[in-house]
Amino acid sequence: MASEDGEVVRNKQVIFRDFVSGFPKETDMEVRESTTKLRLPEGSSGLLVKNLYLSCDPYMRTRMAKLDVPGYVDSFKPGSPITGYGVARVLESGHPNFKKGDLLWGFTGWEECSIITAPETCFKIEHTDVPLSYYTGLLGMPGMTAYAGFFEVCSPKKGETVFISAASGAVGQLVGQFAKLFGCYVVGSAGSKEKVDLLKNKFRFDDAFNYKEEPDLDAALKRCLPEGIDIYFENVGGKMLDAVLLNMKLHGRIAVCGMISQYNLEQPEGVHNLMNLVLKRIRMEGFLVFDYYHLYPKFLEMVLPQIKEGKIVYVEDTAKGFESAPAALIGLFSGRNVGKQVVAVSHE
């Protein structure tokens, strides 16, 4: 079915139903079949893209709530498709940075075809001798988050001790590998034996523990890091943060990337040991990757050779097909995924 305004095609979408409190469910989203014209609107400076991979990231939980934080990402719009990072192929371009056929990663919609209205925030994919899905993880937002969080926020020094929570996730597995290559002693926590094995054997962490099997997190940290922690890469918040504060060393640094253990609570847990910030002169800094994207070329220059030489590895958990997207996203919050959760929506 074609017209002079472009072919009209089927366009499956994952629609966000309404704001969520508590634990999100698959039914907070709905897969709906819609249609779209395969043509940019007249005069558009956007891009019409076909989405290939969709990225499931913990920060998306914050967007399921009605947030009003200027400078943070907007909440999802009830009745509209979920938006997030993805890898896509340009079908039509109204923007000088991109042409038909280009591959890109950036903010797109959870639908088969999307119109990207801010192409200047997307990155053209130049290196295709790596799995394309890596641009939702290792070579995309989570990779840059790990890189900027570790090298820019943590101010690491060789020989320092580094602790990472949610360490087998999209970001954590990279922070640990970057820290090891940099010359730090690296310990991670994760939520299953399988994940702990990955940390120790695949990502070559010096030590790791399953937080679900530790009755006393303080004791677990003291066992793995008897000298204390110079750098904490914070992904979980709550009780783990409290235990870490007791084990930080003088002039330690805490990069706060996220607090996934808190996102589904009606009221976040209280953190009691903040006085350690003073006693040990600790810097605790929240950061968002948006502030560091200017470093992306420098990051690629470092990481692409490391991938090719096998110095950096990456574990992905790939959900196949568009219909699997809601469950894949929800699975993040029970830790069902092993490694970076991505949805493969099309092989083109």
Tell me whether residue 2 or residue 67 sits nearer to its own copies (CB atom): 67
Among the residue ranges 81-89, 103-111, 287-295, 306-314, the one whose residues contact its own copies (CB under 8 A):
287-295
Tell me whether residue 227 or residue 323 sits nearer to its own copies (CB atom): 227
Tell me whether residue 99 or residue 283 sits nearer to its own copies (CB atom): 283
Residue choice 78, 286, 305, 321 for contact with its own copies (CB under 8 A)? 286
At its nearest, how many Å lie between its own copies and the CB of residue 151? Answer: 17
What x/- string results for residues 288 through 327 when contact with its own copies is judged by CB under 8 A? x--x------------------------------------
Contacting its own copies within 44-73 (CB under 8 A) = 62, 67, 69-72
At its nearest, how many Å lie between its own copies and the CB of residue 121? Answer: 18
Confirm if 53 and 132 have CB atoms less than 8 A apart: yes
What x/- string results for residues 235 through 254 when contact with its own copies is judged by CB under 8 A? --x---x--------x----
β-strands 283-286, 248-256: how paired? Answer: parallel
d(CA 286, CA 230) in angstroms, rounded, equals 17
d(CA 35, CA 12) in angstroms, rounded, equals 8
Tell me whether residue 39 or residue 280 sits nearer to its own copies (CB atom): 280
Burial class (CB in 10 A: 0-12, 13-18, 19+), 264: middle
Residue found by looking up tokens 């017209």 in the block = 3
Residue choice 66, 127, 157, 283 for contact with its own copies (CB under 8 A)? 283
Residue count at the site for its own copies (CB under 8 A)?
A: 37
At its nearest, how many Å lie between its own copies and the CB of residue 131? Answer: 29
Confirm if 37 and 6 have CB atoms less than 8 A apart: yes
The closest alpha carbon to 100, from 9, 38, 13, 35, belongs to 38
Residues in Cβ contact with 266 at an 8 Å cutoff, skipping those fewer than 6 apart: 21, 22
Task: Provide the CA 342 distance to its chain's centre, in angstroms.
Answer: 10
Tell me whether residue 271 or residue 304 sits nearer to its own copies (CB atom): 271
Contacting its own copies within 259-278 (CB under 8 A) = 259, 262, 267-278
Confirm if 97 and 119 have CB atoms less than 8 A apart: yes
- DSSP-derived 3-state class of residue 194: helix
What x/- string results for residues 196 through 235 when contact with its own copies is judged by CB under 8 A? ----------------------------------------
Tell me whether residue 265 or residue 302 sits nearer to its own copies (CB atom): 265
The closest alpha carbon to 104, from 73, 86, 125, belongs to 125
Q: Per CB under 8 A, does 74 bind its own copies?
A: no
At its nearest, how many Å lie between its own copies and the CB of residue 282? Answer: 5
The closest alpha carbon to 163, from 187, 133, 134, 199, belongs to 187
Residues in Cβ contact with 246 at an 8 Å cutoff, skipping those fewer than 6 apart: 218, 221, 273, 276
Per CB under 8 A, residues contacting its own copies are 62, 67, 69-72, 237, 241, 250, 256-259, 262, 267-288, 291
